Amino acid sequence: MTTNSYYGQEGHGPYELIDIGTLELEEGGLISNCQLAVVTHGTLNNEKNNAILVTTWYSGTSKIMEDVYIGSGRALDPDKYFIVVVNQIGGGLSTSPHNSDGALFPKVRIGDDVRAQHKLLTQIFGITSLVLVVGGSMGAQQTYEWAVRYPDMVQRAAPIAGTAKNTEHDFTYTETLVEAIITDPKFYNGAYVDSTEVAAGLKRHAKLWTVMGWSTEFFRQNRHVALGFESMQAFVDEFMTGYFAPMDPNNLICMAWKWQRGDVSRHTGGDLTAALGRITAKTYVMPISHDMFFPPTDCKVEQQLVPNSKLKIINSIDGHLALFGTDPDCQAQIDTMLKELLAI
C-alpha cells in the first residue's frame, strides 16, 4: 500500500465507498472487503425503475463523468433518472493496487467489475432493471459486458468509443503503455515507495497517449492552440504529462491488463457472434470518427452482430480523447444520441 493524495475526495469527490464484501475473481483469487467508490445523482423512484449506470474509463473517475456528461437538461438528467456512477476496480478510488496490495494486487477482468457493479446495484440499491448502461472506452467494454452477461436487466446500452472484444492492435499498443512505465529503473517491479519516483516512466506513458489519444488531424489543425497551449510541447508537458504524472503506476498497469483482455466472447467459447447475439437491449454503438484506438470500422463490425442496434458515429477530430470534453460539439452530439436512445 502506498499513499497518493491524487486519489481522494478533494480532487474526485464527493463519492461514497461502499463495501460489497468478498469478490471472487475470474482469474482466481479474491478481493476481500471490495470497496466501490460510488456517486449517485437524482432520486431512485419507488418502483426502482429509473436507474442509469455510468461506467468509467482508463485513468478516469466519476468526477469527469459528472463534469462532462451529467446535468439538468442533459441526456443523463438527474431530474429524471437515478444515475449511478461506479469507479472501476483498480482506477484509484475503488479498491486498487495503491490502496491495498500494490504490485501483488490480483489480476482483475472487465467481468469482475461488472459482477461487482451488479452486486452493488441489486443487493445495496435493490435495482433489478436499468434504463441505460453507458460508458466510454473501458467504460464501453463494461457496457458490452453488462449487455451480454445480464441481458434481462439492461433495457438500453450505449458503448461509446470502445469495443466488445479488444483488438490485437489495441492489445499491442497497450503493451507499449505498460512498458513505458515498467522500464523506468525506479519502478522496482512495482515496489516503489512513492509514485513520483516513477516520473520518467509516467512521462513516457503520457507521450504515448498523446500520439494515439488525439488524431493526426488534431495535430494538423493545431487543436492544442484552441485548448489554450502555445505549443505542442507545452500541451504535452502541461496537459498530458500533468494529467498522468500524479497517478499510481500499479493502478495504471492493473487497468491496462484488464483493457487488453476485454472480450465478451469469453461467455460463448470465443464465438463473438453468439455473444453479441445475446444482447436484447436497444443499443447505440457510438464510435468517434477520428478515434485511432477504436475506429468506426472496428465498431461497425461488432454493431452488425448486435440485434436492435444502430451505428451512431460521433464526429470529432479530437479522436479518442474527445471523451475528455475538449470538443463541445462532440458533447452535444453524444447528448443528442443518448436522448434519442432514451426516447425509444
Q: Is 19 a catalytic residue?
A: no
Contact of 214 with 223, CB cutoff 8 Å: yes
Q: Which amino acid is at 7?
A: Y
Alpha-carbon distance 25 to 107, whole Å? 8
Alpha-carbon distance 68 to 130, whole Å? 21
Alpha-carbon distance 252 to 248, whole Å? 7
Q: Is 291 a catalytic residue?
A: yes
- Phi first, then psi, for residue 83 (nearest 5°) are -100, 120
Contact of 268 with 139, CB cutoff 8 Å: no
The percent helix, strand, coil of the chain (3-state, each to 5) is 45, 15, 40
Among 137, 195, 289, 316, the one annotated catalytic? 137
Among 12, 41, 290, 320, the one annotated catalytic? 320
Alpha-carbon distance 198 to 193, whole Å? 10
Name the DSSP class of 123. Answer: I
User: Cβ–Cβ contacts within 10 Å for residue 269, how many?
Assistant: 8
Among 291, 298, 318, 327, the one annotated catalytic? 291
Max Cα-Cα span within the chain: 56
The three grid cell numbers given for residue 84, joined into one nine-digit string: 449511478
The three grid cell numbers given for residue 190, joined into one nine-digit string: 512495482
CA distances from 230 to 173, 223, 224, 306, 315 (A): 29, 10, 8, 44, 25
Alpha-carbon distance 338 to 105, whole Å? 36
**Which residues are known to be catalytic?**
137, 291, 320
